[in-house]
Structure 1
């Protein structure tokens, strides 16, 4: 199949003025409250904030980043309006010629992982969660290395990425024990019954219970930092694959023994965004973005990952990453709040 243009949807996160300044710098000088109210109440249309180029694929852009002008708290607090705005953004992507549209951050959450969009026939939709689960598993395996006892907590375990990741970890037996944390006890019990045959699995609806774990993987959908110092065991490793992220840099000041790693980030060295940016350096992308790009490069038609991705979808997108490995599409070197992990280790060592 021939490559097709793709589009990836983004939205302002917790600090709306700061995020919109990536599109137009003067917006960053306005009071946050003013920008927040404008985004909430004005009928702002979606627009292409950046064009995505891969030079080896030719001079034309391979995709677009489309901004949904609605903040993270707006999307979670007003899901009906949020779905309407996501729908208009997909309409815009279709007019740009996109063959597949990826749902970034909370645009996936508000559409139930894209399930509410399954009746669309003009474009394919993916939530990007198959490759996100694959990349987070790869990162986790690298970080665990040859560690001894490995009790891993997955927070947001019953969500789309969380469920896929838990199944992958059970398949690979990468963890000695799993703790699944989410709000809904019934879904937790069902998932744990499925994985317990391969890996001893416990469940909890209380975030404080992750204090008994060596590693915490964050996959929740929230506009705020949820994980705090009191939740973590001494020397804990946190892999935060959320957007908006659910950890704050303050956590490292309060708990210098803890390591926080940015999850779900992929290296695509020759990729360039012209226009705005998605909050990552050039040559870096979120795994959900990368999944959309891979499907576009493959000329995929129709929907891909809606709701919880299947193991076959995870394996397929991993195959695509291998097929297009000349561009990268592998987990990026580990960073902590955007800084190389080695820098963070040096800071901690210096403090001692």
Structure 2
């Protein structure tokens, strides 16, 4: 891989601050949650280089922690943007050619749009490859969906968002015999999206999460601070593909609904991937698709910004081609897991019997 670029990927503490801070240094997990909540909001804590990234046995990147929790990023957007900008500065100082925006660091920067004027580093939000991997996972799951009507019903929660829009268009491009329900709070935007794909697939629009009740497959693509997908929302035997970080599924869902299958969404296999000095909540050899997109761009020598704002289908196709050129390293949808544990889809009918 000599002659290719290097990258940095930004992350942040998720729902439980002490758990993710312990990934930086184990003793930090002993600090009370309330202390972190106050300290990270009030103190100008600098970004932390929490891990080095190795792929194919070579050091190719870094993971940079933005010291601001998920709740902070969702409620204090201006401060969140400042902290992400400082993390990008750190990426530049590390010599990275590309920086990827992980989880809510993409959300608070409007998908990287607030960083568009930077010329010292290429920026990507990772949403093009995330959409590609989610589509691959949907098509992998469809043969195992127990369709109530004989025709699979797919609900896309967060359809008007960056990834949701791309996934909707990808599924409509080769729809087959399915129907879609697009769920989003932004009525004009989701209506426009539905109109754009109506000639290719049967589609309807809804604005509350209750609309997933009749869906055979729920694709969860939005992290909301006040609405979690819970056991009361789902029909019997539903499959949920949860591609949110932090998770937007209620903690009680798996235990309360053993008939429901919850699949980890947006996960990519890169067998030689190793993080040195820290981790991002996944085992060696697996990454989130937004991380993988950043790596793909760097390892194939991409220059300039890539996914900023909403990715186009052309960008999805382009990053797929780049990933395919690195096929010897993996960069494909991982085998299905639920909370990190392997799932045997073929045995699912026994659960529903």
User: What's the TM-score bracket when you normalise by the shorter of the two chains?
Assistant: over 0.9
In structure 2, what is the equivalent of residue 205 of structure 1? 207
In structure 1, what is the equivalent of residue 277 of structure 2? 275
Q: 1:4-15 alignment to 2 at 5 Å?
A: 4-15=5-16
Cα displacement (A) at 1:328: 0.6
Q: 2:227 and 2:31 mapped to 1: Cα distance?
A: 24
Cα displacement (A) at 1:342: 3.1
Instruction: Choose the corresponding residue for 2:154, options 152, 156, 160.
Output: 152
Cα displacement (A) at 1:146: 6.6
In structure 2, what is the equivalent of residue 287 of structure 1? 289
In structure 2, what is the equivalent of residue 131 of structure 1? 129
1:146-177 deviations in Å (ceiling 9; x for gaps): 75411100000010000000000000115611
Gaps of 5+ in 2: none
Contact 2:56 2:329 in 1 (8 A): no
Q: 2:106 and 2:176 mapped to 1: Cα distance?
A: 27
1:228-285 deviations in Å (ceiling 9; x for gaps): 1111111101000000011144201111111100000000011110011000001100
In structure 2, what is the equivalent of residue 183 of structure 1? 185
- Secondary structure in 2 aligned to 1:43? coil
Q: 1:14-29 alignment to 2 at 5 Å?
A: 14-29=15-30
1:9-50 deviations in Å (ceiling 9; x for gaps): 000001000111011111111211112211111111002100
Q: 1:95 and 1:18 mapped to 2: Cα distance?
A: 27
Contact 2:231 2:252 in 1 (8 A): no
Q: 1:305-320 alignment to 2 at 5 Å?
A: 305-320=307-322
Distance 1:339 1:223, change over 3 A: farther
Q: 2:74 and 2:308 mapped to 1: Cα distance?
A: 19
Contact 1:224 1:246 in 2 (8 A): no
In structure 1, what is the equivalent of residue 140 of structure 2? 142
Contact 1:103 1:288 in 2 (8 A): yes
Contact 1:52 1:273 in 2 (8 A): yes
In structure 2, what is the equivalent of residue 46 of structure 1? 47
Q: 2:108 and 2:297 mapped to 1: Cα distance?
A: 22
Q: 1:101-116 alignment to 2 at 5 Å?
A: 101-116=99-114
Q: 2:347 and 2:88 mapped to 1: Cα distance?
A: 42
Distance 1:175 1:269, change over 3 A: farther
Cα displacement (A) at 1:221: 2.5
Cα displacement (A) at 1:223: 4.6
In structure 1, what is the equivalent of residue 67 of structure 2? 69
Q: Could you tell me the TM-score, scaled by structure 1's length? A: 0.95
Contact 1:17 1:36 in 2 (8 A): no
Contact 1:229 1:255 in 2 (8 A): yes
Instruction: Choose the corresponding residue for 2:335, options 333, 336, 340.
Output: 333
Distance 1:182 1:262, change over 3 A: same
Q: 1:273 and 1:120 mapped to 2: Cα distance?
A: 27
- Secondary structure in 2 aligned to 1:266? strand
Gaps of 5+ in 1: none
Q: 2:321 and 2:216 mapped to 1: Cα distance?
A: 31
Cα displacement (A) at 1:225: 6.7
Q: 2:144 and 2:108 mapped to 1: Cα distance?
A: 39
Q: 1:175 and 1:126 mapped to 2: Cα distance?
A: 34
Contact 2:124 2:306 in 1 (8 A): yes
Q: How many residues align?
A: 347
